[in-house]
Amino acid sequence: MTSVETSITRDYVEYLRDKLIEAEKGLQLMSQNYDAAKAHFDALCFRQGITPETDMVSYQDRKKLHPELGFWNSKVEHFQRELAAYGAALTGLEAAGRMLARPSRSSPAD
């Protein structure tokens, strides 16, 4: 059976790190796109006298008519999930490496 050290290569860890960085960049870009679309939508609503504070029902109804907000929000959520997944994988590998680096305790004899 292959040990953990040989089955998890440096290339794999670097791949995960690169994917994590890529997800961070994607999240930042999609967040900016969503923020811009949301600011534009809020400005349109404000010009009509509709804000979440004054008329939440009308605000939500108008929001349904602007699918780009949902589109950008789904992109933000996608990159948040990627970021969490790659981050968790790297954290798990690091923890496993630390556990395997410690000397193993032998089980007590009866």
Residue 104 included in any domain: no
Residue whose token pair is 């305790």: 105
Strand, helix or coil at 43?
helix
Residue 100 included in any domain: no
Residue 47 included in any domain: yes
Residue 110 included in any domain: no
Contact assessment for residue 10 and residue 55, using Cβ atoms and an 8 Å cutoff = no
Residue 32 included in any domain: yes
Residue 86 included in any domain: yes
pLDDT band at residue 6 using 50, 70 and 90 as cut-offs: low
Residue 39 included in any domain: yes
Look up the pTM and report it.
0.75
Lowest-confidence segment of 2-6, 58-62, 72-76, 84-88 by average pLDDT = 2-6
Q: How high is the pLDDT of residue 98?
A: 86
Residue 28 included in any domain: yes
Distance CA 60, CA 62 (A): 5
Q: In which domain, by residue range, is 75 found? A: 7-94
Q: For the chain, how many structural domains are there in total?
A: 1
